[in-house]
Amino acid sequence: MAQPPVNSDAPIEQMMLFAHRSFAVSSVVFYWVDDTSEMTDFRADGTPGDFMRRYMGGMRQLDPLLVSRISSQGKRIARLSEEWHNVPTDQGDAYRHFLGDYGIVDNIDFVFWNGGAPVAGLGLLPRAEDTPVDLRCLNLGALHRYFEFNLGLHPRLRARRLRHDLRDRYRLSPREIEVAALIGAGASNTDIAEVLNIGVATVKTYVLAILAKLEVDNRASIAALTAGLGFDPGAERIGLRSP
């Protein structure tokens, strides 16, 4: 009997549902953070109208809780009503007006870290019609740790840990990491050459270097190491052929 597909975003969905219920907010946004500490792709639930389009289109630069701002201060939890000092007064006024267009009265952001860097965030956007919640009754630190632990199980963060391990422990170059990931996906040398737009001879050189750095004897060992570190390197990028 076939097993149902695993929902890799389940930790995110559970986190957002929990936030809706625990904080009694109608609008919740989860977002990933890239290597420059900027917000990247996101999923929003209950945000009004074109709020996210305008936010991503430029208003976020006025946001006192812009993730690059609060993460540079090492913060894991931040509340808008306590962070207006992060931006000049005129920018703060413009951002207040923007939030007011949608009836948003505050913002609480959880920033999640992995390997010493911010990797994701959860924004709670209470609106005027939402039932106020006394945050003093909630252990925000414990909730943050719970969210962060569960998020660490997401394939995206497992892949991130693998890349860092290959880089820091095994000293693989960025290109060698790409080749190792594709080997783990079952790609032949020809597949890898096509995907990376390099010659097959160059691929073979990379493979030999990877074998030496990982101190293994064959491609199967590279694939096994990749799988053992919990990395699913995204074989959907290519149409794999038999070697």
Q: What is the H or E stretch that residue 105 is in? A: none
Which residue type, as a one-letter code, is found at position 123?
G
CA dist 220 and 207 (Å) reads 12
What average pLDDT does this structure show over 90-112? 95
DSSP-derived letter for residue 104 is B
CA dist 167 and 162 (Å) reads 8
Q: What is the pLDDT of residue 186?
A: 85
Phi/psi at 204 (5° precision): -60, -40
Tell me the fold of 158-237: Arc Repressor Mutant, subunit A (1.10.10)
Position 237 pLDDT exceeds 70: no
CA dist 91 and 36 (Å) reads 23
Domain boundaries, the chain: 10-153, 158-237
Tokens of 9: 């975003």
Q: What is the pLDDT of residue 4?
A: 42
Strand ranges of the sheet holding 77-79, from the earlier edge strand across to the other edge: 39-45, 28-33, 117-124, 108-114, 77-79
3-state secondary structure of 64: coil
What average pLDDT does this structure show over 40-59? 93
Position 163 pLDDT exceeds 50: yes
User: Out of 30-34, 70-74, 106-110, 232-236, which region has the weakest mean confidence (pLDDT)?
Assistant: 232-236
User: 241: pLDDT confidence band, cut at 50, 70 and 90?
Assistant: very low
Q: Between the CA atoms of 227, 231, 235 and 236, what dihedral angle is there, to the nearest 10 degrees? A: 140
Position 144 pLDDT exceeds 90: yes
What average pLDDT does this structure show over 231-236? 40
Position 10 pLDDT exceeds 90: no
pTM above 0.85, yes or no: no
- Over 131-150, what HEC string results? CCCCHHHCCHHHHHHHHHHH
User: 39: pLDDT confidence band, cut at 50, 70 and 90?
Assistant: very high
**What is each CA distance from 57 to 50, 60, 80, in whole angstroms?**
10, 8, 20
Position 236 pLDDT exceeds 70: no
Between 97 and 35, name the one with better pLDDT: 97
Question: 120: closest CA among 230, 41, 233?
Answer: 41
Burial class, 67, CB count within 10 angstroms (exposed 0-12 / middle 13-18 / buried 19+) = buried
- Please give the CATH architecture assigned to the domain spanning 10-153: 2-Layer Sandwich (3.30)
Q: What is the pLDDT of residue 51?
A: 95
Q: What is the pLDDT of residue 238?
A: 37
The domains spanning 10-153 and 158-237 adopt the same CATH topology:
no
User: 19: pLDDT confidence band, cut at 50, 70 and 90?
Assistant: very high
Question: 179: closest CA among 242, 171, 217, 188?
Answer: 188
CA dist 205 and 19 (Å) reads 50
